Amino acid sequence: MYQINFNHPIHIYFIGIGGISMSGLAEILLTENFRISGSDRAPSELTQTLEERGATVYYGQREENLTSDIDLVVYTSAIKSDNPEMIAANRLNIPLLTRAQLLGQMMRNYKVPIAISGTHGKTTTTSMISQILLENHDDPTLSIGGIYKPIGGNIRVGSSEHFVTEACEYTNSFLSLFPKIGIILNIEEDHLDFFTDIQDIRNSFHKFALLLPSDGTLIINGDIDHYEEITAGLSCRVITYGSSSAFDYSPSEITYDASGYPSFHLMRKDGKKESFSLQVPGEHNVYNAIAAIALADILGIPSEISAGALLAFGGTDRRFEYKGKVNGFTIIDDYAHHPTEIAATLTAAKNYPHKTTWCVFQPHTYTRTKAFLKDFAKSLALADEVILADIYAAREKDTLGISSQTLQADIEQLGHRCYYFASFEEIQDFILKNCTKDDLLITMGAGDIVKIGENLLQK
C-alpha cells in the first residue's frame, strides 16, 4: 500500500471530492501544504470552500482530468472500476488509496486518535465529543460526518494530540483505521447491499475492536446484544455504558422539559452521581451523551466541562434540526433513514410541543427499503400522518421491484393512513393545504428531502 510522508507533501487527486468526508480530508491536507485537486458532479458549498482554500476542482469526471503530475488518487467505495478517472489513474500507473486508507494514515500522525463507530448516532456523538474538547480548549483536529456549526463545517484542523473522526462500517472501511480510543454506539442490520446479515456485521465490529492497542480503550454500549462477543479477546481496557446499573455508566431519572429536551442523572459504577441536561431531544441522545462523557473521563476532562459543553450543544445539521415556521406549523429536518433512527426521532418528537406530527419520508436505496420494509412501516406509523416521496436511489439502480408505493401499502395494512406523491411539488402543495397551526412537520431521510422544508419556507 502506498504510504504518505506528511513531511513531504505531494499532489493528491480526490475522485468525488465534494463528499462530506472526502472534502474534509482534502481540507486537512491543504493545511498541511499538500497540493489538492479532484472532481465532483456539481458545485456545492463544500467544493466552493475547497476552491477558496486553493484546491482545483473539476465538475464532471473525465479521463483528461488526471495528469501525469498527480502522485496519488483517493477514491470512495462508490467509485467503480469503470469510472473514467479510475481508468485514467490505472493507465498512468498512479498509486491508489481508498478514503478509509487515507484516513487511517492521517490518524497515525496523532498521539490520541479517537474513532466513533455504530450503526446510528456517529455524527451526533462525534459532535458532542467535539463540543467537550473545544470547551476544554484542547485544540483538536475533527472530522465529522455532518455540518457542525461551531466550526463552520465538518472539519477543524487543530494542533493538539487529539484527532476525532467517525468510523463507518460500510464496506468495512473502519478496518483501515488506527484508533487508540474506539467507541461502539450500537450494532444493527444495515448496508445489506454489502453485509450478508447481522452476524457478518457483528464480526466486522469485533474486528474493529481488535484494532485497538493494548494501551488503548474501547467504550461500548452494553445494551448491544451479547456485547461480550464483540469484546472477546481484546487486550485493551473496556468501558461499558447502557441502561443497566451493572455497566460502568448508566442514566437514571430521565425527564423532559417543555421543549422535549432531556435531563438525567448519570450513575457511575463507583457510586458517583451527577446531573446533565441536553439541548437535543430524545432518549437516544442521552446514551450518545453518556458515551461522550465516558470518553471525556478517559481524557481527564472535568465533569463540569462536559456538563457545560453538553448543555451548550445544539445538534448538527439534519439531526432534528429546526428549520422554521410556515403558516403556524413548525418544520424540523432529520437524517433518519433506518427504522431504528426513525423510531428514535418520532419518539423524541412526542415530547416536542405540537398538535399533529406529520412525517414526510424519503426512503434511501432500494436494498435498504426492501430489507426493512415491515420495520419501516412500524416505525413510520409512530407519526400521526405519513407522506412518502419516491425512493432516493443513491448508488443503486431499481432492480428489486420495490417502490414507495410498496411501503405505503404496508403502512396502510397496519391501519394507518399514508399518502404518496411522485413529486416534491405535489407534496408541498398537499402540506400547505393540510398542515395547520401548531402542527409539527418532519422531513426525513438521507437524500434530498430537506428541500421540501426549505422550499416551503421560501413560499
- pLDDT tops 80 at residue 459: no
Mind listing the pLDDT tens digit for each residue in 113-140?
Answer: 999 999 999 999 999 999 999 999 999 9
What's the order of all strands across the beta sheet hosting 141-148?
153-156, 141-148, 162-167, 112-117, 181-184, 217-221, 237-241, 249-256, 262-268, 273-277
Mean pLDDT across 6-23: 93
DSSP state of 190: -
**What backbone phi and psi angles, to 5 degrees, belong to 420?**
-130, 135
Instruction: Go through the chain and tell me how many residues it has.
Output: 459
151-160, 334-343, 376-385: which has the minimum mean pLDDT? 151-160
Q: How many CB atoms lie within 10 A of CB 233?
A: 8
Mind listing the pLDDT tens digit for each residue in 342-386?
Answer: 999 999 899 888 999 999 999 999 999 999 999 999 999 999 999
Mind giving me the DSSP string for 392-404? B-TT--S-S---H
Single-letter amino acid, residue 382:
L
Mind listing the pLDDT tens digit for each residue in 66-97?
Answer: 999 999 999 987 788 899 999 999 999 999 99
Q: Which residues are catalytic?
A: 122-123, 166
Mind listing the pLDDT tens digit for each residue in 167-177?
Answer: 999 889 999 99
Mean pLDDT across 235-241: 98
Mind listing the pLDDT tens digit for each residue in 170-210?
Answer: 889 999 999 999 999 999 998 888 899 999 999 999 999 99
- pLDDT tops 80 at residue 341: yes
Per-residue pLDDT, 147: 86
Per-residue pLDDT, 293: 98
Per-residue pLDDT, 146: 86
Q: Cα separations (Å) of 411 from 338, 373, 384, 386, 406? A: 16, 9, 12, 9, 9
Angle at which helices 283-298 and 339-349 cross, to 10°: 110
DSSP state of 245: T
Per-residue pLDDT, 6: 87
Per-residue pLDDT, 193: 86
Per-residue pLDDT, 400: 82
Hunting for cell 455497566 — which residue is that? 247
Residue 319 pLDDT level (bands cut at 50, 70, 90): confident
Residue 315 pLDDT level (bands cut at 50, 70, 90): confident
- pLDDT tops 80 at residue 395: no
Check: CB of residue 144 under 8 Å from CB of residue 115: no
**Dihedral angle at the C-alpha atoms of 74, 212, 189, 417, nearest 10 degrees?**
-80
Coil, strand or helix: which one is 305?
Answer: helix
Separation CA 95–CA 1 (nearest Å): 8
Separation CA 175–CA 344 (nearest Å): 28
Mean confidence (pLDDT) of the chain: 94
DSSP state of 268: E
Q: Which of 223, 128, 117 is nearest to 173 (CA)?
A: 117
Angle at which helices 373-380 and 404-413 cross, to 10°: 60
Per-residue pLDDT, 61: 94
Per-residue pLDDT, 251: 97
Separation CA 395–CA 416 (nearest Å): 31
C-alpha cell belonging to residue 4:
504518505
Check: CB of residue 439 under 8 Å from CB of residue 358: yes
**Dihedral angle at the C-alpha atoms of 8, 13, 19, 23, nearest 10 degrees?**
30
Check: CB of residue 183 under 8 Å from CB of residue 220: yes
